Amino acid sequence: MKPIYVLNGPNLNRLGKREPDIYGTTTLAEVEAMCREAAGATPVAFHQTNSEETLIELVHEAIDEGAGIIINPAAFTFTSLALLDALKQFDGPIIELHISNIHRREPIYHRSYVSMVATSVMAGFGAAGYPIAVKALLARLAA
């Protein structure tokens, strides 16, 4: 059984401490536990990096080994053509996920390069969006 990849971009290692009024108080370790619980028997490759290069390498790994991708690219959502190019190579479903509703934030957060290739986009559910995304991805893979 191929794993689902849950990929997290820059500053998400600071969840629970960083701007809790926007991102809540749930830590990334708690998010990982929620994802693994939601996935049940399906393996989860859960990663966070502050490096664009490493995030792209993780997408490449998912291209070769993964069934689906849930990605919260954080700031790279709005800046990285390289990430877009990497995600274009993935044949399976991709869910773009954001903890906050990026469309209610400053205009710089309104244009996502990742949305150009994402199968689905989720925003504004807080950390609770992660297990919802896992369940949605599993349902899509089963269909």
User: Looking at 5, 98, 113, 130, which residue is catalytic?
Assistant: 98
Q: Is 98 a catalytic residue?
A: yes
Domain map (residue ranges) of the chain: 4-142
What is 4-142's CATH number?
3.40.50.9100
Binding residues for substrate, by number, are 72, 85, 99-100
Which residue type, as a one-letter code, is found at position 5? Y
Q: Mapped to the 3 state alphabet, what secondary structure does 85-101 carry?
A: HHHHCCCCCEEEEECCC
User: Looking at 23, 47, 113, 130, which residue is catalytic?
Assistant: 23
| Model confidence pLDDT, tens digit, residues 26-69 | 999 999 999 999 999 999 999 999 999 999 999 999 999 999 99
How far apart, in whole angstroms, are the C-alpha atoms of residue 53 and residue 65? Answer: 18
Among 31, 34, 44, which residue's Cα sits nearest to residue 4? 44
Q: Is 113 a catalytic residue?
A: no
At residue 4, the 3 state secondary structure works out as: strand
| Model confidence pLDDT, tens digit, residues 86-116 | 999 999 999 999 998 888 777 777 788 999 9
Predicted model pTM: 0.94
